[in-house]
Structure formats: C-alpha cells, structure tokens
C-alpha cells in the first residue's frame, strides 16, 4: 500500500453501476494532502468527472459518498459523512451532510469514499464489509420506506449492527428534493441527492466493519484531541451547549423568533406569534423521552420523542430539528406541534427533505391565498394557512408525484415556472434551492451567505453566528479589536463580506474533515487552529501543522466549488436573493423594517475571495496561488477567469 | 474489594464513545468491534443495551475455558491471557450476559479488565453514564437500577429483591 496517511481507511470505491462492477482503489495521496477529505475531495472528483452538459439525473452524473480523516476517530462531533453530486433541484453544486453512525462504519469497513457512476439496470444496494464491497439486488427493497428498508437489510444479513444510508419512495419517484436517510431518522436532506441515487437505481448503502483506523501518532493525537475537547468546557459556551443538550435544535425556534428571523407565512415575515406552541419548552416537557448523540459526540443535540394518543400518535422516533419545525410550522402558520412531528416523520420515512417540502407547501399556500392557485389546481384541497391535514396529504402526494404533488415535487422554482403568472414572486429560493430557516432582513450576513452559497439558499456553507450569539472576544480574536464592534451589529453590512469569506473557508474544512457545525458554527468553538492541532498527529501530513497551509487548503476547496458552478454558467447575477428578501422590508416583529445591503457585502466578499466584482469570476493570480491551474486551463478559454 | 462497571441508561445517549476509548487503549486503534464494551441499539423501540463483563463472582466463562486462559490479574480482575486462549468460543457460549466476545482481528476472546482500575470508558463518557461500583449490595443495586429503563421499554417488571 502506497497511500501513506493514517486516520483514513486508505481505499475508495469506483462503482460502475451500468456494468455492475465495483473497483476497489487506493486513495489518492493528493486528495488528502490538498483537499483533506469530504467536501474538498468531492470538489476535485466532481470537477474531473462531470461537464457542463452532465444532466443531474442521467447516468453521466456521479454521486459521491464521502467521509473525512476525523470521521470515526473520537474527535467529538465527528460521526458524520457527506454526499455530493450535481444537484437535480438546482442544476449546480450539491452536497449534503449527515450525522449518526454510518460515516464511521464506512471507514471501519475499509473505505473513505464511494463514487457511483452510470446507472444500474435494476435496483441494487451496495454492501460493504471489511474491505469487500458488492452490489446486491434491491428489488425487494424498492418502494419501501426508509425504516423498513434498513430493517430488511439487517434481516437479510442477520446482522443488527449494520448501518445504512438509504432513499425512500421520494428518491425513487424522482421528486427533485429526495434526501438520503441515515440510521432511521438522520437526513442528508438537502439538494436532492437521494434522487440522484434513485436515478441510478441505487436504494442505498449498508456497512459493517471491524477493520478499525489507526493514528499516525496515537498518543500525540489523543493528547491533541483532549486539548480540543477542553475548549468545549470554556464557560463562554456554557449556555449555548446547555441548550443544545437540553432542547436540541428546537431551542432555535424561540431564540430566532426573538430576533425576528423565524421564516413565517412563506417568508412574508420573521416573527411568529404562536412560536411558543411549537417551541422548545412544550417539546421538552410533553414529548421528549431521551437524549441521543451521534458517534462519540459530546454535544448530543439529537432527541427522541413519543406521542401518545391524539391524531398523530407515534412510537419513539427522532424528534424534528429546528428547520423542520420552521418549514411546516411557522412557515405555514401551523401551530400544532403534534402534526409537525408527524410531517417530519413522514418525510424521513418517504425520504423527503423537510425544508424543501415544507417550503414548497408554504409557497403553494400563499399562491392559494393570492388566488393564483384554486381548488381546481390542487385536487380539491383547501390550501389554507395552517391546514395541517392538507400538509399531510400533500407530503404523500409529493412523494408519489401524484396529482398536484407532481408540480410541487419539482420545488418552488420549477413549480413557479409551470404555474406561471406572478407565482415566481413567491418562490423563495436561490439557484433553485428553497431557503432554509433564516431571514436576511433580520441578519445581514445571512443574506450574503444565501447569495454566495454554492448549493443555493441555505445557511450551512457560511452562516456567521458570532453576531447572532454575540461573542465579542471571538469577533476581536478573529477579525481584530477595531472591527469587532461593527461585526457584532447584526444589521450592519460592515465587514460582513470578510466574515462570510472567513467562515466559508472554515466550514470548507469542517465539511472536509468531516465534522459537525455544532461546535464550529454554533457555538463557534473550533477554528483553523483546531485542524493544525489534530490533523498532523492523526494523519502524518506534516504540512497541515502550518496554519497558512490549512487556510490555503480551505480557500482552494471554496474556489474549486465556485469554479464548478461558474463552469455551469453561474455568475454574480445568480448570487442574489429572491425579491421578497431583497426588497420587501420586514413587515412585523423585532426586525421590522430590515433589509439586507447585499451589494455592499458582495463587493467586499469578492475582494476577499479573490474574485472579480462584476462577474464573480475568480482572478487568475488567486487560482495560481491555490494550485488550481487545471481550473485556469479550462475556464480561461471560456472567459471565466479575470 | 472487587469492582465492576455499571451504566446508567437514563444518562446514556448511545454515542458509543466508550467503545472507541476502549479500543484505543486495548488495540491502539479506533475499532469499536474490538471494544470490550459494546453498545447495542434497537432504534425502533429506542432501546440501548450496553454489554460489558459483569465481573461475576461465579464466572461461567472461566469454568468453560479448556485452556485456563481466563485468569486473575494483580488487581483480582479476570482477564483473557491472549497467548493461552485458543479462540474456541466456549466462554462466549457460557456467558449468559454477553460479557465476553471474540476479537474479530485476533480471533481470541476479549473481556473487560477494568483497565487496571482506571477504565478508559468511564473517562471517555461525556454524559457520566458509566461508573465503577464495588461488589457490595449498594453497588449491585446501582447496577440494577441503572438498567431499569430498558426493562420499562420491554414491558418487564423487576421486583425488589435481595441483591
């Protein structure tokens, strides 16, 4: 074996689905050295293996399953994995991350990455065990919901320790926002990558491994790891971590409503009067039965609920995250929390992204209110605000692509095109991805995050929580004392270009390592120095002990993902916000009157990113500095380099 | 005084960090399948079942071992002498608690040896669910109470009785 680095399993799988052949290959040294893992490595693979012409749902697209060096090696929030491909909902860069136990299991089974190419002639799933991988028949699993699928796979192999990542009927039926469900109720939901798997006739992957992982210097790594974990004990994080442990992400319903940033009534406003009905306290008191955690995580934000009686009783299931409560709750004016539990559960079982599903239903409800849609269009359903029964029916219809669900299954951008008229005005998306649960009219920098996020309107590539949670010391440490005050002003665009550039770089590494946003984003505990401390001892890549090298790698990954989008045709004009969020002042709540100053922030962001202000294209000097000459070679003749 | 490990299921989040910690100490690698403590999960009923050697007073595993590989260390804790173990699995069959298993790599039996009095799993548990208790009535009671939530989930009643 010539792959020299530890912490990695050392192999990846190149799966030719069309021929039904699995090739086991040694990991590429340069992938680790220059891109670390996860998102970084995926950016290189996707650049190399797709073209501007690749149709996301054709056999030409590739679907990457990725882990990182920190996956499964006891670094606290690191039980994670990721998926990447060209997205069917947006047509651009798509990646989606998920926690649980599957990521580490893939590595223990002997693999860091899986690349699915082509299309299988019949339904299959990929089974991994101890260095071996095979495509197995999945015709008995096709059509099954995600929990049943996992139970059937475990039964097939008579092994309850098998972990899975599977799609549900939504991904099979080519709903454009079908997700991938891991370990029963964790979702790599966003951007439709489950649908890409479905288009390839792949029901999922299953893994069980006992190969284990080594460290380059175990003693040194465990010491470095312990030092990093001590940072979590700093009293300044006490409140944020305590709330995550007690409420999970449901606490955000209360915290975010308080600052007027909770998407309400299809993003009409950012303040929901009935937020308490769907908030953290009622969930913790009445429904929560246990705390859960991903592999080796000491944050432990996951929680289990049970509902006895009522219209939607349920046995223990993973409770909904903030985003799910927002999408089906405040965003649709539904204050019935038990119905939201039900909707979240159905999305997990059907393999639907809860954000896009809830947001698309909210969009349809507004069109119904405005008279753009009538009962004639909606199979007779009354899409009145807060109608949870109709929401529940629509979820099933979307997953089956049945009746009116056929239009909604395309997401808001395409649905608006199909419906026509003024419908586009109410489609809240960027690059085709439905907005997640933030509102830039109450938090300037999130506007820039939405606009520049390579996968579309969502917070996870670069949201800054420094100003949201108010950490003056962190602002000063990271950006200098003189800038700290302005940075902490949530409604000031000042320095936000720099802040978003910085966190986008940071999260590029977080997503490559692959670790969690909780403890890197909220609260912002780990920073670039974390990678400097742990990566060399774990992997033996000495260059990662130099912070400048680490930051350069972060920029490289960020640029390569952007270049992927430029090649498809994305420019500054696409890095914008939907009209409502850009020009309708916040009508009610604590952030009343707020609007994002997007252009100011974008200019500053492009300057820091090393891009041209007019087009957003990268500058040749910058790409050279990042050793992205192969990008220059391809984009320069197309006039996409400045 | 003999000791054993107890796991409070009310606190356990099923994160399995104990498995990782155990494997780093005993195998110099991150390999939960080679851990001496195993956290079994049944997600559908939200059941978490930690499996670890109970340090029995009448160890069935020791009796079943044909080569005398299960012996006391200097702390009076039974461990498996790797050079004597032949991997016959008699001990695994004998133990009704799932406290001894076969290492998938060495193919020899492994069980908790309490890390010479300072168990790695106890230190690694961020939720303070794992502790070391003494073989006294209080310790035994603590062990029984710690798993009562699993019995509730399974709808089984355990009567108060002599420990």
Q: Contacts of residue B20 in chain A, CB cutoff 8 Å?
A: 72-74, 295-296
B156: confidence class by pLDDT, cuts 50, 70, 90: confident
Chain A nearest-CA residue for B126: A298
Pair of tokens at residue B71: 């012996």
Strands (E), B93-145: 100-102, 109-111, 130-134
User: Domain residues of chain A, as ranges?
Assistant: 11-208, 262-427, 444-638
| Closest alpha carbon to A189 in A80, A400, A352, A62 | A352
Is there a contact between B13 and A289 if contact means CB atoms under 8 Å apart?
Answer: no
Q: Which CATH code of 1.10.3720.10, 3.40.190.10, 3.30.70.270, 1.10.599.10 fits the domain covering A444-638?
A: 1.10.599.10
For the stretch B66-114, pLDDT in tens is 999 999 998 889 999 999 999 999 999 999 989 999 999 999 999 999 9
Quick one: which of A457, A461, A494 has its CA closest to A263? Answer: A457
CATH number of the domain at A11-208, please? 3.60.9.10
Cis? peptide before A30, omega within 30° of 0: no
Q: Structure tokens of A177?
A: 């926002």
Helix, strand, coil shares of chain A as percentages rounded to 5?
Answer: 45, 15, 40
Residues in chain A: 642
Among chain A residues, the shortest Cα distance to B45 is held by: A316
Most B CBs within 10 Å, among A155, A219, A287, A292, to test the B interface: A292
CB contact under 8 A, A210 and B127: no
CA distance B26 to B33: 12
- The minimal CB distance from B30 to the residues A76, A213, A294 is found for A213
In this structure, are residues A216 and A545 in contact, taking their beta carbons and an 8 Å threshold? no
Does the distance separating the beta carbons of B45 and A316 come in below 8 Å?
yes
A74/B126 CB distance under 8 A:
no
User: A161 to chain B: which residues are within 8 Å by CB?
Assistant: 33, 40
CB A92 within 8 A of CB A454: yes
Q: Is the pLDDT of residue A450 over 90?
A: yes
A74:B13 CB<8 A: no
The 3-state secondary structure of A108-159, one letter per residue: HCCCCEEEEECCCCCCEEEEEECCEEEEEECCCCCCCCHHHHHHHHHHHHCC
Nearest to B29 among A147, A214, A291 (CB): A214
Task: Out of A147, A215, A293, name the one closest to residue B13 (CB).
Answer: A293
- In the three-class reduction of DSSP (H, G, I as helix; E, B as strand; rest coil), residue A605 is classed as helix
Question: What residues does CATH 3.30.70.20 cover in chain B?
Answer: 1-52+114-155, 55-111
List B30's β-bridge partners, or say none: A213
Q: How far is residue A435's CA from residue A419's CA, in Å, rounded to a whole number?
A: 20
Query: ∠ CA A406-A413-A38 to the nearest 5 degrees?
Result: 95
DSSP state of A65: E
Alpha-carbon distance B84 to nearest alpha carbon in chain A (angstroms) = 23
The residue of chain A with its CA nearest to that of B44 is A316
Q: Report the pLDDT value the prediction gives residue B143, as an integer from 0 to 100.
A: 80
Residue A542: other Cβ atoms inside 10 A: 11
Burial code of B133-157, b = ≥16 C-beta within 10 A, e = fewer? bebeeebbebbeebbebbeebeeee
Is the Cβ pair A212, B42 closer than 8 Å?
Answer: no
Of B15, B33, B42, the CB nearest to A296: B15
For residue A437 the two structure tokens come to: 């649960």
How open is the CA angle A359-A269-A351, to the nearest 5 degrees?
A: 15
pLDDT recorded at residue A129: 98
State residue A610's pLDDT score: 98
Answer yes or no: are the C-beta atoms of A604 and A452 closer than 8 Å.
no
Distance of CA A560 to the CA centre of its chain: 18
DSSP H/E element including A624: helix A620-625
Q: What is the CATH class of B1-52+114-155?
A: alpha beta
User: What are the chain B neighbours of A72 within 8 Å (beta carbons)?
Assistant: 20, 30
pLDDT at B153: 79
Q: Identify all chain B residues contacting A294, using CB atoms and an 8 Å cutoff.
A: 15
- Which candidate from A108, A151, A184 shows the least CB-CB separation from B33? A108
Q: What is the mean pLDDT of residues A179-185?
A: 95
Candidates B10, B14, B45: best to mutate against A (most CBs of A within 10 A) is B14
Whether residue B44 and residue A209 make contact (CB cut-off 8 A), yes or no, is: no
| Subunit contact B45:A315, Cβ cutoff 8 A | yes
CB contact under 8 A, A298 and B30: no
Backbone Cα Rg of chain A? 23
pLDDT at B161: 60
Q: Positive or negative CA dihedral for A162, A166, A169, A173?
A: negative
Contact B20 A74 (CB under 8 A): yes
Closest chain B C-alpha to A538 CA, distance in angstroms: 11
If you average pLDDT over every residue of chain A, what do you get?
Answer: 97
CA distances from B130 to A202, A406, A622, B20, B142 (A): 40, 51, 52, 14, 11
Q: What is the pLDDT of residue A599?
A: 98
Contact A288, A318 (CB under 8 A): no
Secondary structure, 3-state, A195-258: HHHHHCCEEEEEEECCCCECCCCHHHHHHHHHHHHHHCCCHHHHHHHHHHHHHHHHHHHHHHHH
Query: What is the mean pLDDT of the segment spanning A390-396?
Result: 98
Q: Do A74 and B15 touch (CB under 8 A)?
A: no
B163 has a pLDDT exceeding 60: no
Average predicted confidence (pLDDT) for chain B? 91
A210:B104 CB<8 A = yes
pLDDT of residue B137: 85
The CA distances from residue A503 to A76, A269, A445, A465, A589, in Å, are 20, 27, 11, 10, 28
Cis geometry, peptide bond prior to residue A527 (ω within 30 degrees of 0): no
pLDDT band for position A640 (cuts 50, 70, 90): very high
Count A/B contacts: CB-CB distance under 8 Å.
93
Of the candidates B29, B46, B104, the beta carbon closest to that of A316 is on B46
What's the distance, CA A226 to chain centroid? 28
Partners of A290 on chain B (C-beta within 8 Å) are 13, 46
Residues from chain A contacting residue B17 (CB–CB below 8 Å): 74, 295-298
A616 token code pair: 């957003």
CA-nearest of A555, A581, A590 to A468 is A590
Tell if the CB–CB gap between A304 and B105 is shorter than 8 Å.
Answer: no
What is the distance between the alpha carbons of residues B73 and B63, in angstroms, rounded to a whole number?
Answer: 17
Q: How many whole angstroms separate alpha carbon A293 and alpha carbon B19? A: 14
Strands (E), A422-515: 429-430, 433-434
- Going by C-alpha positions, the residue among A356, A297, A301, A306 that lies closest to residue A331 is A356
Output the DSSP codes for A345-362.
HHHHHHTB-HHHHHHHHH
Least confident of A8-17, A359-368, A490-499, B52-61: B52-61
Nearest Cβ partner for A300 among B13, B33, B40: B13
- Nearest chain B alpha carbon to A232: B126
Mutation to test the B interface, candidates A146, A296, A308, most B Cβ within 10 Å: A296
Residue B159 has pLDDT above 80, yes or no: no
Taking an 8 Å cut-off on Cβ atoms, the answer to whether B24 and A222 are in contact is: yes
Angle among Cα A14, A18, A24 to the nearest 5 degrees reads 20
Residues of A in contact with B35 (CB under 8 A): none
Per-residue CA distances from A257 to A24, A438, A475, B51, B54 (Å): 49, 10, 24, 43, 49
Could you tell me which chain A residue has the CA closest to the CA of B9? A290
Structural class in CATH, domain B55-111: alpha beta
| 3 state SS for A292-334 | ECCCCCCCCCEEEEEECCCCCCEEEEECCCHHHHHHHCHHHCC
Residues A191, A90 contacting (CB under 8 angstroms): yes
Q: Which pLDDT score is estimated for B138?
A: 84
Burial class of A481 by CB neighbour count within 10 A (0 to 12, 13 to 18, 19+): exposed
Range scoring the smallest mean pLDDT among A122-136, A434-448, B139-153 = B139-153
Question: How many residues are recorded in chain B?
Answer: 163
Residue A263 Cα distances to A33, A57, A206, A416, A434, angstroms: 41, 31, 36, 20, 12
Domain spanning A262-427, CATH architecture: Orthogonal Bundle (1.10)
Cα–Cα distance measured from residue B42 to residue B153, given in angstroms and rounded to the nearest whole number = 11
* CA neighbor of A301 nearest in space, from A524, A82, A100, A165: A100
Residues with Cβ within 8 Å of residue B87, at least 6 apart in sequence = B102, B106, B107, B108, B109
Residues 6+ away with beta carbon under 8 Å from A15: A21, A22, A23, A114, A115, A116, A117, A126, A133, A135
What is the arithmetic mean of pLDDT over A228-240?
A: 93
Which among B30, B42, B104 has the least Cβ separation from residue A72? B30
Quote the percentage of chain A above a pLDDT of 90: 98
Contact A218 B43 (CB under 8 A): no
Residue B148: its pLDDT value, please?
81
pLDDT at B157 over 80: no
Give the tens place of pLDDT for each residue, A399-420.
Answer: 999 999 999 999 999 999 999 9
Contacts of A289 in chain B (CB under 8 A): 46
CA distances from B150 to A63, A245, A316, B45, B79 (A): 40, 22, 13, 10, 28
The secondary structure of A465-490 as a DSSP string is -HHHHT-HHHHHHHH-HHHHHHHH-T
Helix-, strand-, coil-residue percentages of chain B, each rounded to 5: 30, 20, 50
- ipTM confidence: 0.95
What is the Rg, in whole angstroms, of the alpha carbon atoms belonging to chain B?
A: 15
pLDDT at B162: 59
CB neighbours (10 Å) of residue B80?
21
Cα–Cα distance for residue pair A577/A596, rounded to 1 Å: 10
Subunit contact A210:B43, Cβ cutoff 8 A? no
Please answer yes or no on whether A108 and B31 come within 8 Å at the CB atom.
Answer: yes
Q: Provide the pLDDT confidence category of residue A515 given band limits of 50, 70 and 90.
A: very high
Q: For tokens 């950490």, what's the residue?
A: A471
Instruction: Give the residue-averaged pLDDT of B147-153.
Output: 80
Say if residues A412 and A420 touch (Cβ distance below 8 Å): no
């Amino acid at each position: 074996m010539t792959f020299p680095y530890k912490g990695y399993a050392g192999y990846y799988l190149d799966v030719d689905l069309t021929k039904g052949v699995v090739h086991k290959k040694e990991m590429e040294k340069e992938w680790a050295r220059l891109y670390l893992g996860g998102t970084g490595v995926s950016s290189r693979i996707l650049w190399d293996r797709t073209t501007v012409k690749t149709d996301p749902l054709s056999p030409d697209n590739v679907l990457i399953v990725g882990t990182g060096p920190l996956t499964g090696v006891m670094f606290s929030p690191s039980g994670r994995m990721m998926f990447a491909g060209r997205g069917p909902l947006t047509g651009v860069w798509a990646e989606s991350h998920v926690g649980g136990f599957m990521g580490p299991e893939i590595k223990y089974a002997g693999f860091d990455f899986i690349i699915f190419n082509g299309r299988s002639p019949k339904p299959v799933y990929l089974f991994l065990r101890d260095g071996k991988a095979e495509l197995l028949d999945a015709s008995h699993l096709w059509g099954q919901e995600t929990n049943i699928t996992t139970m059937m796979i475990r039964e097939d192999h008579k092994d309850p320790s098998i972990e899975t990542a599977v799609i549900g009927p939504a991904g099979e039926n080519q709903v454009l926002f079908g997700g991938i469900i891991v370990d029963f109720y964790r979702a790599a939901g966003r951007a439709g990558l489950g649908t890409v798997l479905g288009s390839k006739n792949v029901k999922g992957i299953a893994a069980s491994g006992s190969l284990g992982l080594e460290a380059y210097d175990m003693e040194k790594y465990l010491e470095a790891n312990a030092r990093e974990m001590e940072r979590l004990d700093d009293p300044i994080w006490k409140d944020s971590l305590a709330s995550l442990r007690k409420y999970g992400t449901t606490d955000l319903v209360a915290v975010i409503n308080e600052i007027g940033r909770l998407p309400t009534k299809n993003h009409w406003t950012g303040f929901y009067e009935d937020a308490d009905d769907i908030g953290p306290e009622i969930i913790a008191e009445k429904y929560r039965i246990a705390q859960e955690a991903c592999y080796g995580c000491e944050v432990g934000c996951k929680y289990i609920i049970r509902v006895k009686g009522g219209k939607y009783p349920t046995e223990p299931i993973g409770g909904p995250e903030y985003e799910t409560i927002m999408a089906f709750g405040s965003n649709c004016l539904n204050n019935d929390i038990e119905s939201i539990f039900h909707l979240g559960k159905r999305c997990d079982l059907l393999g639907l992204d809860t954000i896009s599903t809830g947001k698309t239903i909210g969009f349809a409800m507004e069109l119904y209110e405005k008279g753009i849609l009538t009962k004639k269009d909606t199979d007779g359903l009354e899409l009145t605000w807060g109608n949870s029964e109709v929401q529940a029916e629509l979820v099933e219809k979307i997953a089956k692509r049945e009746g009116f669900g056929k239009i909604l299954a395309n997401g808001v951008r395409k649905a608006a095109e199909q419906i026509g008229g003024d419908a586009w005005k109410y489609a809240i998306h960027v690059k085709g991805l439905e907005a997640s649960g933030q509102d830039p009219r109450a938090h300037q920098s999130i506007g820039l995050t939405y606009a520049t996020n390579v996968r579309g309107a969502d917070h996870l590539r670069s949201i800054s929580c420094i100003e949201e949670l108010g950490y003056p010391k962190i602002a000063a440490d990271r950006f200098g004392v003189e800038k700290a005050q302005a940075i902490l002003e949530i409604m000031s665009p000042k320095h936000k270009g720099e802040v978003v550039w910085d966190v986008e770089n940071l999260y590029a590494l977080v997503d490559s390592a692959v670790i969690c946003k909780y403890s890197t984003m909220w609260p912002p505990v780990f920073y670039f120095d974390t990678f400097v401390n742990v990566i060399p001892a774990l992997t033996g890549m000495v260059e990662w002990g130099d912070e400048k090298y680490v930051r350069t790698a972060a920029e490289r990954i960020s640029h390569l993902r952007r270049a992927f989008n430029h090649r498809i045709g994305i420019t500054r004009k696409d890095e914008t916000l939907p009209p409502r969020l850009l020009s309708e002042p916040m009508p009610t709540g604590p952030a009343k009157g707020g609007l994002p100053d997007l252009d100011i922030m974008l200019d500053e962001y492009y300057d820091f990113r090393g891009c041209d202000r007019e087009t957003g294209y990268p500058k040749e000097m910058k790409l050279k500095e990042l050793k992205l000459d192969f990008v220059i070679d391809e984009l320069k003749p197309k006039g996409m380099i400045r | 005084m003999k000791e054993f490990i107890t796991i409070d299921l009310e606190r356990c989040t099923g994160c399995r960090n104990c498995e990782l910690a155990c494997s780093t100490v005993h195998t110099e690698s991150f390999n939960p399948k080679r851990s001496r403590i195993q956290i079994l999960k049944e997600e559908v009923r939200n059941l978490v079942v930690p499996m670890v050697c109970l340090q029995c007073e009448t160890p069935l595993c020791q009796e079943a071992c044909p080569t005398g590989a299960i012996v006391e260390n200097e702390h009076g804790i039974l461990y498996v002498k790797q050079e004597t173990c032949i991997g016959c699995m008699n001990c695994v069959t004998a133990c009704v608690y799932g406290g001894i298993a076969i290492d998938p790599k060495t193919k020899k039996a492994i069980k908790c040896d309490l890390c010479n009095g300072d168990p790695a799993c106890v230190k690694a548990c961020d939720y303070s669910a794992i502790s070391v208790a003494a073989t006294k009535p209080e310790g035994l009671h603590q062990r029984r109470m710690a798993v009562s939530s699993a019995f509730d989930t399974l709808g089984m009643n355990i009567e108060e009785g002599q420990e």
